[in-house]
Amino acid sequence: MKVAYRDVIAMGRHGVVALYLEVPPDELDVNVHPAKTELRFRDADAVRGAVIGAVRRALGVGTGTVVPMPQVASSWGRSSARPSWPAPSMAPPLALSPVAARPAGGNLAEVQLPFQAAPAARQVEQPAAPSPDHPLGAPVAQVLDTYIIAVAADGSLVLVDQHAAHERLTHEAIRAQMLDGAARSQPLLLPAVVDLPAADVVRLAARAEELAKLGLELEAFGPGAVLVRAIPAALGSPEPGPLLRDLAEEFAELGEQTVLSSRLDAIIARMACHGSIRAGRKLGAAEMSALLRQMEQTPRAATCSHGRPTVLKLSKADIERMFGRR
């Protein structure tokens, strides 16, 4: 289970799942224990592969998508591994500021709240009607310039962390390009020189060929600097300095002998964080809606690259329980 979950869950946490396995009786060894209190699979590797594959397929869909129970074929014939997912844990109640009154025109608009405090939420002027085809609903507001509030067609309340969500979208874009051959790069108009400790320069220069496949083109520029010629196109226009320092730290943890491909997701996660929408950035309605639609279509979008949740969805029943109505 750790192998299937490791890219979508925070370090130190563990997935909880009820697993049902169906295998032909002749593929079980019942003679392990004289009292028949234990049994073993004849082909344990095939069973392990089926379980990991089933869980990965269930996790590798867009956020909000209903996951059908996968039927997994293996070397031992007819079998299935069916993960049964538990209900998500409840989030603590949110402390919200008083809602602004509806203007005289009848349309929702951004208005100044009473009292002496600035608005904590920016409302969408004319919220779109949520479509049943969009599990994450339509955006209605942005809270603290960090969290998107949306309403789904079934009335569920959806909360999205814009930075964590976009980090996952960037991660998956780079990863998909990498698996297709190489990530697309964006040449810098003027190469950037980044000052770094000599040990970090050596680490990055030694990985230059591998980093080029991820869209990052660099070379040593003396004993204490790195020259950056291009960055991954999916990152937009981040500052090269923080990105290189993060990667050097990751390589220091990996060690010189570790092949980058074995920790590809960890490297891409470091990069994705620097190319994501930051907390504190104001988003328009179209930007919020586009982010939600991309999340619905992107694998593993329910968590960021570090395993933290990107979205919380509260049904009517969840909300009623929070307010003591159930």
Tens of pLDDT, residues 116-134: 555 567 777 777 788 889 9
pLDDT of residue 311: 94
Which class in CATH covers the domain with range 121-165+283-322? alpha beta
pLDDT of residue 256: 67
Find all residues with CB under 8 Å of 157, minimum gap 6, and list them: 149, 150, 151, 313, 314, 319
Q: Could you count the other beta carbons within 10 Å of the beta carbon of residue 131?
A: 11
Range list for CATH 3.30.1540.20 in the chain: 121-165+283-322
Q: For the segment 216-270, what is each residue's pLDDT rounded down to a tens digit?
A: 999 999 889 999 999 999 888 888 999 999 899 988 887 766 667 667 888 888 8
Paired tokens of 198: 């000599």
From residue 135, alpha-carbon distances to 85, 171, 311 in Å are 18, 22, 12
Q: What is the 3-state secondary structure (H, E, C) of 68-83?
A: CCCCCCECCECCEEEE
Q: What is the mean pLDDT of the chain?
A: 78
C-alpha span between 312 and 157 (Å, rounded): 8
Q: For the segment 78-92, what is each residue's pLDDT rounded down to a tens digit?
A: 444 544 444 333 343
Alpha carbon 25 to its chain's center: 39
C-alpha span between 94 and 151 (Å, rounded): 16
Residue among 17, 15, 302, 258 nearest 159 (CA): 302
Domain 182-274 grouped into CATH 3.40.50.2000: no
Range list for CATH 3.30.1370.100 in the chain: 182-274
Instruction: Report yes or no: 155 and 317 within 8 Å, Cβ to Cβ.
Output: no
